[in-house]
Amino acid sequence: MPLREPTRGLPRYRSPQDARRRQSVPPVAGGDAADALFGSQLLNYLEDQLRQRGVRVWFGNATPDLDVDRLRMFYERHGFRVLPDGAPLPPLLGKEWVMPGTAQPTFYFWKRLPG
């Protein structure tokens, strides 16, 4: 299913494959409904790809330079567990995934992927 093109001057991707070939991907939470729809479609595509490759946990973070309130709602809506601001990422699958000395993001988010 082709992804809907984002608006507001963001790069235009016609498919997830096109987005993957690019150096950067537009913000997934977007500034309006069309951008948020694109972000949702991209997230769903990536989750499917990760699941097919055997990934069991997907995690990330939001830094202070981003629209953290909108991102928090976006990731919660997509089933991610969003940690409180400043909370450390817990060990996932028995491993620490944050390098010592890494700057603390505003928040981390993660979810288990069904196998």
Write the pLDDT tens digit of every residue in 29-46: 555 676 778 888 999 999
Q: Given a cut of 60, is residue 90 above it in pLDDT?
A: yes
Task: Determine the pLDDT at residue 102.
Answer: 86
Q: What is the pLDDT of residue 14?
A: 56
Buried-state track 48-64, b at ≥16 Cβ within 10 A, e below 16 = eeeeeeeeeebbebbee
Torsion (CA) 96, 97, 102, 103 in degrees, nearest 10: -100
60, containing H or E segment: strand 57-62
- Please state the domain extents for the chain: 1-55, 56-115
What is the predicted pLDDT for the residue at 37?
Answer: 82
